A and B are shown apart, each in its own frame.
Chain A
Amino acid sequence: MKYIIKKLLTLILTLFFISVLVFLIFQVIPGDPALSILGTEATDEQVEALREQLGLNDPMPKRYFNWLTGVLTGDLGKSYRYQESLNEQMAVSRLIAGKLPVTLTLAGLSLLLIIIFSIPIGILWGGTKSRALDGVLNVLSQFTMSVPSFFLGIIIIYVFGLIMRWFTPGGYVSYREDFWGYIRYMLFPAITVAVPKVAMTAKFLRNSIITQLKSDYVRTAYSKGARRFRVLFVHVLKNAMIPVVTFIGIIAAEIAAGSIVVEQVFGLPGIGRLLVSSISTRDYPVVQALMLYIVSAVVIVYFVVDILYRYIDPRVEEQ
């Protein structure tokens, strides 16, 4: 419990620093938000009036405080480019709220597939004595790891979409309209994200198991009469999983940030595509909000990994 509280405080502190950093970066970037909203034909008076209205003339600490209060209450400012109606800029929070569930579903489904497949494959691979099986899995993993994701996406669309007709390529449906249709469609981009990561994670687990099998406590387990299957599942697996949890954590953080390529290939309205378009149109409030999301997602995933560690490795507490 003490450990969790300690980690939680670290998390809050880290998130605070991130918010300062993200805020500062967008203060330093050149360009006047008021000018970019109004356009170049605006008069100086109009610009000055908007600056006052947006609070841009306030001192920096006050602006940071206002911004942070906004973030914490769900107000992320307004987009420069996206319009709600003719005279109304769209709120960034609304913009992101529409896209974030897609990215989170993709990340969640991918992570689920990675865990479901990589762990049994890794155990089989690390535990087998068959050189033939080891060789086959090695070739297979090398191959899947080296295929770029856009190409894998195209193959999956071709095979499952066009030949098998298990889904309609480009036929994304929102979860609001048809939840199961949405999940069914999302499964295929999730497979695209997961395949190379399954290969990596399985290989990582295999190496970890092989290292653990050489350790002294394994010899002890054999010497008291345990057999291979028992040694593998009762003794080795838990120890071998310790580094794998970190590895899966790194992958989870990566996919939580959104896969731009896979979103593009499957035509998903996720934050990856929003990020690209808002950077190219210099829609700073959107970029800022997305940056805040991505960095926070990474930090929160690592926090979860730290907590999981505590349950797998009893030695963690005293370190």
Chain B
Amino acid sequence: MLEIEKLTVYFGDRCVLDDVSLSVARGEVLGVVGESGSGKTMTALSVMGLLNPAARIEGGSIRLDGRELIGLDGRAMSGIRGRNMAMIFQEPMTSLNPTMRIGKQLGEAVKLHYENRQPKQEIKRIVLDALADVRLPEPERVYASYPHELSGGMRQRVMIAMGTICRPGYLLCDEPTTALDVTTQKGILELIGTLKKEHNMGIVFITHDLKLLRNFADKVAVMCRGKVVERGTVEEIFAAPKEDYTKRLIAAIPDRSRRLAKTSV
């Protein structure tokens, strides 16, 4: 289980996360939805220990399979990041190092988490497997490419390969499809679903787009201004939104897909 309990974070004297509690089990997808600035990304970054130094965690607890993460030192956290949990970001265009070949960037993730030095051939094999795992055609070619030689969708697949290469128990996805066109979006979403099943990962899927979570998330938390205002299954949220804010989020979905959402419930 990845459990966030009563997490409170301040940015200066502004409270950006207020008493946030969320949890996700392995093999489960938790959708976190809300408008920008609602604290979704901040929550994920708190879990990863990647908050801006100006932000302070004032209270609460984050437990990864029972181990408390808040208060761990840098060395311990970097041992967990990438190995026990990983994160995928919104912008596939800028999230990869532009001057390093894809193969090397993925290989680094492997090297960082294996205690014994792996022979180069072995690392390359693991990386090529990971590239094939995210259904990238011609893994050998992608391996030798620089990020600018790949499309947005391919880069996001590379990011997913990098996140899952050490088989973490949990994957935090921060709007991984927002920057992509609709067709590519669908492919990425399916891929995350498939990898979840294959590797029994717990997924936290952050989005501002409620309809993406239909047929995908097991449960949903709605965030607004740093608080979780509503939670439930996707069906519950769509059928009977309790909060006005949630109703507005549903109203923001274009008519056609809303009708579809209703009929599918």
Whether B81 contacts A222 by the Cβ 8 Å rule is yes
Stretch binding the partner chain, chosen from B10-18, B92-100, B185-193: B92-100
- The residues in B between 62 and 105 inclusive whose CB is less than 8 angstroms from any CB of A are 74-75, 78-83, 86-87, 89, 91, 94-100
Known: A223-B86, A225-B112, A234-B108. A216 touches B81 (CB 8 A): no
User: Chain B contacts of A223 at CB under 8 A?
Assistant: 48, 50, 81-82, 86-87, 89, 163
User: Chain B contacts of A221 at CB under 8 A?
Assistant: 97, 108
Whether A220 contacts B112 by the Cβ 8 Å rule is no
Whether B146 contacts A315 by the Cβ 8 Å rule is yes
Closest CB in chain B relative to A229 CB, distance in Å:
11
Is B159 engaged at the interface, CB distance under 8 Å to the other chain? yes
Is A313 engaged at the interface, CB distance under 8 Å to the other chain? yes
Is A235 engaged at the interface, CB distance under 8 Å to the other chain? yes
Whether A224 contacts B89 by the Cβ 8 Å rule is no
Closest CB in chain A relative to B113 CB, distance in Å:
6
Bound complex: CA A314 to CA B113 (Å): 28
Is A227 engaged at the interface, CB distance under 8 Å to the other chain? yes
Bound complex: CA A220 to CA B148 (Å): 16
User: Chain B contacts of A215 at CB under 8 A?
Assistant: 94
User: Chain A contacts of B83 at CB under 8 A?
Assistant: 225
User: Chain B contacts of A219 at CB under 8 A?
Assistant: 50, 89, 95
Whether A224 contacts B82 by the Cβ 8 Å rule is yes
Is B4 engaged at the interface, CB distance under 8 Å to the other chain? no
- Interface majority SS (helix, strand, loop, mixed), chain A: helix
Known: A216-B91, A315-B146. A222 touches B97 (CB 8 A): no
Whether B100 contacts A224 by the Cβ 8 Å rule is no
Is A13 engaged at the interface, CB distance under 8 Å to the other chain? no
Whether A224 contacts B74 by the Cβ 8 Å rule is no
User: Chain B contacts of A220 at CB under 8 A?
Assistant: 89, 95-97, 159, 162
- By size class, the interface of chain B is 20 to 34
User: Chain A contacts of B94 at CB under 8 A?
Assistant: 215-217
Which residue of B50, B148, B159 is within 8 Å of A314 (Cβ)? B148
Whether B50 contacts A222 by the Cβ 8 Å rule is yes
- Give the total number of A-B pairs whose CB atoms are below 8 A apart: 76
Which residue of B75, B91, B108 is within 8 Å of A224 (Cβ)? B108
Known: A222-B78, A224-B108, A226-B78. A313 touches B86 (CB 8 A): no
Which residue of B48, B89, B91, B97 is within 8 Å of A239 (Cβ)? B97
User: Chain A contacts of B100 at CB under 8 A?
Assistant: 235, 238
Bound complex: CA A101 to CA B43 (Å): 63
Whether B113 contacts A225 by the Cβ 8 Å rule is yes
User: Chain B contacts of A314 at CB under 8 A?
Assistant: 98-99, 146, 148
Is B109 engaged at the interface, CB distance under 8 Å to the other chain? yes
User: Chain A contacts of B108 at CB under 8 A?
Assistant: 221, 224, 226, 234
Whether B112 contacts A226 by the Cβ 8 Å rule is yes
User: Chain B contacts of A238 at CB under 8 A?
Assistant: 99-100
Closest CB in chain B relative to A280 CB, distance in Å:
49
Known: A225-B82, A225-B109, A227-B78. A216 touches B148 (CB 8 A): no
Closest CB in chain A relative to B197 CB, distance in Å:
23
A208-220 CB contact bits vs B (8 Å, 1 = yes)? Answer: 0000000111011
Closest CB in chain A relative to B78 CB, distance in Å:
5
Whether B78 contacts A225 by the Cβ 8 Å rule is yes
Whether B98 contacts A315 by the Cβ 8 Å rule is yes
User: Chain B contacts of A20 at CB under 8 A?
Assistant: none
Bound complex: CA A219 to CA B97 (Å): 10
Is A312 engaged at the interface, CB distance under 8 Å to the other chain? yes
Whether B95 contacts A225 by the Cβ 8 Å rule is no
Bound complex: CA A221 to CA B98 (Å): 12
Whether A312 contacts B99 by the Cβ 8 Å rule is yes
Q: List 9 A-B contacts (CB under 8 A).
A: A223-B81, A224-B82, A224-B109, A224-B112, A224-B163, A227-B74, A239-B97, A242-B99, A315-B146
* Those 5 A-B pairs whose CB atoms lie nearest each other, nearest first: A225-B82, A224-B82, A216-B94, A224-B109, A217-B97
Interface on B for A, CB 8 Å cutoff?
A: 48, 50, 74-75, 78-83, 86-87, 89, 91, 94-100, 108-109, 112-113, 146, 148, 159, 162-163
Given contact pairs A223-B48, A238-B99, A314-B98, a sample of 8 additional A-B residue pairs in the complex whose CB atoms are under 8 Å apart:
A217-B95, A217-B97, A220-B95, A223-B82, A225-B83, A226-B112, A238-B100, A314-B99
